[in-house]
Amino acid sequence: MSARSVAARRLRAVAATSVVTAVAGAAFVPAATAATAAVAADEAGGHALRMTLGAPTPTGPLERGGATESMLLTVANSSDEAQDFSAWLPGTPDGPSPVLKDSIVFDVTAVDAPATKSAVGRQDGSFQGLFFPATGNAASTFSIPAKTAYTWKVTLGLGASYPTNDGDFTLTAGRLIGDTDDDPSRNTQVFKIDPAITPGKLNVAWEQKTGAVARPGQRAELVLNATATGPGEFPAELRRTVSAQQFRDGAGHPDFVLEAEVDGKVVKLTESNDSEWELPAVPKGFGAASGTRSIKLYLSLGAKSDIRRDTVVPLEAVFSMADSWGFNGAGTQVKAGPAPATGSPSASPSAPASPSPSGSAPVTPSASASGTAATTGGTTGGTDGGTVAGTTDGTNVTGSLAATGSGGGLYGALAAVLLAVGGAATWFATRRRRTTGV
């Protein structure tokens, strides 16, 4: 299961919207006529409504902070009754970085339709455009009369802060409410970006020592690595959240303790939520030239732990940036168990390794378990305020689950949730886990 899908189940909706101002675009002639609706009746494949997103004009690549392009969005009602309708236009950059709230210029205005407002919603790091009747709000719907077509002008451009490590931008129009034929092959436009790039990836992976077990007073050592490839860099700092919230090995409280090596010292991390910890952020400007960003972590159990047998603890690392959440991450499993029974050999706490001398060779991790991606080993770049990259004592490490890229598809489980609650009111928000772990 990807870090994105795990995070999406646990994130808490927080109202946050930003209305986008109108932007000038190319002129269009009204095209909403009964004839358009009649044609749609033959083409809608049994649906009452048919949506079509036209080609953008003027043609040509978009530049950061440059001119916008516009296209016609037409929804034709071929039925004999008025039909309720609402839509969204999610967008996805080709590259590792989520887009910031001011990275995209977006506007929707009526051509042959009721007065319209537009806005941008934020969800899990993705851009999601919305338009709705000017007399209502983000949860309002249009009522399209029988045998009638409504037409809007959709305008899109790049803000000056569009990430330099992202390439082309894909916009798709899809229905939220209404019996609508919204075939993506007819409702998707790819906007080329100038200058053109071949985007890289953000690779996130875990390393851990073979045989390490977390117990009361005994640490299991792990390393969380992040490496960027390709041109450009991230336009804001990358926050890293580690959690063990999927641990369900019986009732009770495991009393997890997570420590990190910072500035050559091992410090206990404060829980931001139950079994959840915030790591030091990766600074703004992280890119391929930064090398591997690594942080050494130690998991153990506190004195109040009620784990009674050896088991495994699923750990998840989730990366977020600015007003996005959970756009990348990786998971692993750590062995954990109770303190040894009385009479058995005592387990002395494992001391953290000392930082590597400058110029020491990094340790290459062994191949990961079947079905998992190999992790990065050692470091070729900076550290987090003095944290140590890779392993430092020559001990072999094992790989673990890794993740790359910017995460899932456009819709996922989100669309079903929106329909269940009645549309855009819940969608029109930034989700970020902060006070609840469920």
Query: Residue 170's domain is classified under what CATH number?
Result: 2.60.40.3880
Is the pTM here over 0.75, yes or no?
no
pLDDT for position 124 = 53
* Residue 288 domain flag: yes
- What is the bridge-based pairing of β-strands 180-181 and 49-53? parallel
* Residue 141 domain flag: yes
* Residue 438 domain flag: no
Do 381 and 414 lie in one domain? The reply is no
Do 108 and 223 lie in one domain? The reply is no
Do 104 and 171 lie in one domain? The reply is yes
Domain that holds residue 162: 3-198+408-431
pLDDT for position 325 = 77
Give the pair of three-digit tokens for residue 156. Answer: 């899109």
Spatial separation of the C-alpha atoms in residues 259 and 296, rounded to whole Å: 9
The verdict on whether omega for the bond into residue 254 sits within 30 degrees of 0, i.e. cis, is no
* Residue 345 domain flag: no
Local confidence pLDDT in tens for the 438 residues of the chain = 444 333 333 333 322 323 232 222 333 334 444 445 445 445 556 899 999 999 999 989 999 999 999 999 999 999 999 999 999 999 999 999 999 878 999 999 999 999 999 998 765 557 899 999 999 998 999 999 999 999 999 999 999 999 999 999 999 999 999 999 999 999 999 999 999 999 999 999 999 988 889 999 999 999 999 999 999 999 999 999 999 988 887 657 899 999 999 999 999 999 999 999 999 999 999 999 999 999 999 999 999 998 889 999 999 999 999 878 789 999 999 999 998 876 544 444 444 443 333 333 333 333 333 333 333 333 333 334 333 333 333 333 334 445 555 433 333 334 433 333 333 333 333 333 333 332
Do 188 and 163 lie in one domain? The reply is yes
Do 424 and 386 lie in one domain? The reply is no
Give the pair of three-digit tokens for residue 7. Answer: 């995070």
* Residue 305 domain flag: yes
* Residue 436 domain flag: no
* Residue 90 domain flag: yes
Do 280 and 151 lie in one domain? The reply is no
Do 128 and 17 lie in one domain? The reply is yes
Do 88 and 181 lie in one domain? The reply is yes
DSSP string, 101-167: TTSEEEEEEEEESS-EEEEEEEETTEEEEEEEETTS-TT--EEEPTTEEEEEEEEEEE-TTS-TT--
Do 188 and 243 lie in one domain? The reply is no
pLDDT for position 342 = 61
Spatial separation of the C-alpha atoms in residues 165 and 62, rounded to whole Å: 15
Spatial separation of the C-alpha atoms in residues 233 and 197, rounded to whole Å: 12
Do 327 and 413 lie in one domain? The reply is no
Spatial separation of the C-alpha atoms in residues 279 and 286, rounded to whole Å: 16
Which CATH number belongs to the domain containing residue 373 in this structure? Answer: 2.60.40
pLDDT for position 141 = 96
pLDDT for position 122 = 63
pLDDT for position 293 = 97
The verdict on whether omega for the bond into residue 195 sits within 30 degrees of 0, i.e. cis, is yes
* Residue 346 domain flag: no
Do 35 and 103 lie in one domain? The reply is yes
Do 144 and 230 lie in one domain? The reply is no
Domain count, the chain: 2
Q: Would you say 53 and 47 are in contact if contact means Cβ atoms under 8 Å apart?
A: no
